[in-house]
Amino acid sequence: MIDFTLSEEQLMIQKLARDFAQKEVAPKIKDNDQKAFFDKNILTKMAELGILGLSIPTKYGGSGGDYISLGLACEELEYVDTSLRVILSVHIGLNSLTLLTWGTEEQKQKYLVPQGKGIKSATFALTEPNAGSDVVAIETKAKKDGNYWILNGEKMWISLADVADHFIIFAWTDQEKRKKRDHSGISCFIVERGLPGLTTATIHGKLGIRAGNTGSISMSDVRVPKENMLGQEGEGFKISMFALDQGRYTVAAGATGLVRACLDASVKYANERKTFGDVIGKHQLVKEMIADMATSYEIAHMLWLRAGWLKNTGQRSTKETSLAKMYACDASERASGNAVQTYGAYGYSDEYPVERFYRNCKGAVIYEGSREIHKLMQADYVLGYRIDKPTRCSLPTPEE
Ligand code: CAA
């Protein structure tokens, strides 16, 4: 039986995330966005509330909660600002859930427990200056030296790069396979800030998500202990795809929250602003924009809920997550454009948040699989060119 009723725990987590975002972030987000200021206190507050440990079992320092609760939190956070949801995407979606699934018990105790508690923050680094959609084009290399791997390379467009304590980093460990573009030559490493040779920087001048931190990571002969390899040698590509299944889920739910934020702001203004002797909400072409936002919110919400339900029940959700991510991000781009349109000239100024929504939406149409990558995946599924195979490790079902 399908039941759309949220449980008490899910409602509680939804409210917790909503209250936190409204009380702690909403009053200062315009200022932080204008100054392109990443407020580190936000991480501390999120840790105190257990938000950084959502969906991580309590035995690993997390606050538990199922995957739908994680989606609900992402929706509420991005309703206020995309930068908040991005924290969950990298810390939980891409990193912590990957460690939970692929890590050894020792790795979980050492890295996941402090991440679950929010004592340490974490991110994921796959993308490089010359490799985004085309993952096997990465150039970062890892060479074995006794009990260490020596990493050299450059990662780019990494959320929380200049802030996070822990990184999951992908590198070629087999140079012969690299020449053949054989993904089984890529491996994955847990890397800590502070290792000699690792430096990070912040990227300035972004179009949106200006209150968030995005940066680069440079590695020059970084010695990573061999026990920090995540998964087996050569499993890096599959681990990156697995991680993206979880990261894209948080992006889908977050972009859905952005659609709702655009809808609520537009409804409010449509009932206040008058033209031609009546509030603009009475004009059919404004109604058309509102109808599109309301409809796409419901569809986006249902799509990520379905992906969350699959995750909760231990089923693979690569196809459904990709669709949810693609649809919600496109919908948020359309909704924020229409929200600015509804506000007219005022929407073009920073007097109202819709201008920020319009700038914030664009990143997610590009990252964690661009719209084009997701279209390709959806087409390949229906054409029968893409068939998901079982993986060595699969996302654990949430703890009872
Ligand atoms: N889980 C586990 N394994 C998976 C998988 C998944 N979701 N998807 C694929 N695999 C496995 C396949 O089963 C296959 O295994 P075998 O070789 O044993 O058959 C292997 O991985 C190769 O899979 P594909 O043939 O599907 O791979 P592909 O080369 O066709 O690539 C792609 C597909 C969809 C284009 C993929 O490369 C892709 O998603 N690209 C986009 C990458 C992306 O989203 N990058 C953004 C990263 S975000 C970032 O780094 C910045 C930040 O701040 C977070």
Quickly count: other Cβ atoms within 10 Å of residue 205's Cβ: 6
Marked catalytic residue, from 76, 320, 368, 372: 368
**Mean pLDDT, to the nearest integer, of 377-390?**
97
For residue 232, the CA-to-ligand 1 centroid distance in Å is 17
Which of 120, 136, 171 represents a domain boundary (last residue)?
120
pLDDT, tens digit (0-9, with 9 covering 90-100), for 294-353: 999 999 999 999 999 999 999 999 999 999 999 999 999 999 999 999 999 999 999 999
Split into its structural domains, the chain has a count of: 3
pLDDT, tens digit (0-9, with 9 covering 90-100), for 17-58: 999 999 999 999 999 999 999 999 999 999 999 999 999 999
| Cα–Cα–Cα angle for 229, 398, 296, rounded to 5 degrees | 100
User: What per-residue confidence (pLDDT) applies to 400?
Assistant: 62
Which of 234, 254, 273 represents a domain boundary (last residue)?
234
Which of 234, 249, 281 represents a domain boundary (last residue)?
234
229 in a structural domain: yes
388 in a structural domain: no
What is the C-alpha to C-alpha distance for residues 114 and 107, in angstroms, rounded to an integer? 11
276 in a structural domain: yes
Average pLDDT taken over every residue of the chain: 97
Quickly count: other Cβ atoms within 10 Å of residue 323's Cβ: 21
Segments of the chain assigned E as strands: 122-125, 141-145, 148-159, 166-172, 186-192, 198-202, 214-225, 229-230, 274-275, 278-279
Quickly count: other Cβ atoms within 10 Å of residue 112's Cβ: 29
Q: Are residues 197 and 147 part of one domain?
A: yes
* Pocket probe mutation, ligand 1, options 121, 241, 315, 365, max atoms within 8 Å of Cβ: 241
392 in a structural domain: no
Whether 358 and 336 have beta carbons less than 8 Å apart is answered as yes
391 in a structural domain: no
26 in a structural domain: yes
User: What per-residue confidence (pLDDT) applies to 359?
Assistant: 98
Active site residue 227: no
* Pocket probe mutation, ligand 1, options 90, 135, 191, max atoms within 8 Å of Cβ: 135
215 in a structural domain: yes
Quickly count: other Cβ atoms within 10 Å of residue 304's Cβ: 31
Whether 258 and 79 have beta carbons less than 8 Å apart is answered as yes
For residue 237, the CA-to-ligand 1 centroid distance in Å is 6
What is the C-alpha to C-alpha distance for residues 384 and 326, in angstroms, rounded to an integer? 19
Q: Are residues 374 and 268 part of one domain?
A: yes
Domain coverage including residue 27: 8-120
For residue 240, the CA-to-ligand 1 centroid distance in Å is 7
CATH number at residue 132: 2.40.110.10
Q: Are residues 290 and 211 part of one domain?
A: no
Q: Are residues 164 and 97 part of one domain?
A: no
- Read off the pTM: 0.98
Q: Are residues 35 and 108 part of one domain?
A: yes
13 in a structural domain: yes
Which residues does ligand 1 sit against, CB inside 6 Å? 90, 94, 124-127, 132-133, 135, 157-159, 183, 237-238, 241-242, 244-245, 318, 367-369, 373, 377, 389, 391
Q: Are residues 250 and 367 part of one domain?
A: yes
Q: Are residues 193 and 177 part of one domain?
A: yes
Q: Are residues 367 and 323 part of one domain?
A: yes
